[in-house]
Amino acid sequence: MRMKVYGFALIFIAACAVSAWAADINGRVVRVADGDTITVLDAANVQHKIRLAGIDAPEKKQAFGQRSKESLSELAAGKQVVVQTDKRDRYGRQIGKVLVDGQDANLEQINRGMAWFYRKYQAEQSPSDRRLYEAAEDAAKADERGLWRDSAPVAPWEFRQSR
């Protein structure tokens, strides 16, 4: 019995710690670095470097890299956004879903064929986001939108590994 109580207590404490850190960032996009990374300036003039969750866009020197950056710029540059985040990557960037006027910019990058659904990290997404992102990639492939026009597109994680 005592072990069950301790187990529940540990789960409760862990859940509280995660939810205590999880926070929305509200601000204006002041920089688009590439097709999956932006900088957001909040009301306190603090800059937040954001890596879009659930997607991986072509690298700058890769086919469609510049076009992917332009696409994200069209979606978010200079606009007010809400970033739902609860994690940082190894480079210190916050990982999050970027909402522009309620629209999921991460999902839209996939819809446009400007990013892959990053299945490696799908366990960190909600089940509904996983389904949406996967369906968006399938539709972009079928319609040959964006990078899917290429006869043999190279995923960014493969491109990075080859360098």
Q: Known catalytic residues?
A: 51, 59, 93
Contacts of 9 (CB under 8 A, 6+ apart): none
Q: Supply the DSSP symbol for 1.
A: -
Contacts of 75 (CB under 8 A, 6+ apart): 100, 103, 105, 108, 109
Contacts of 137 (CB under 8 A, 6+ apart): 110, 116, 117
CB 96 within 8 Å of CB 52:
yes
Task: Give, for 104, the enclosing helix (H) or strand (E).
Answer: strand 103-104
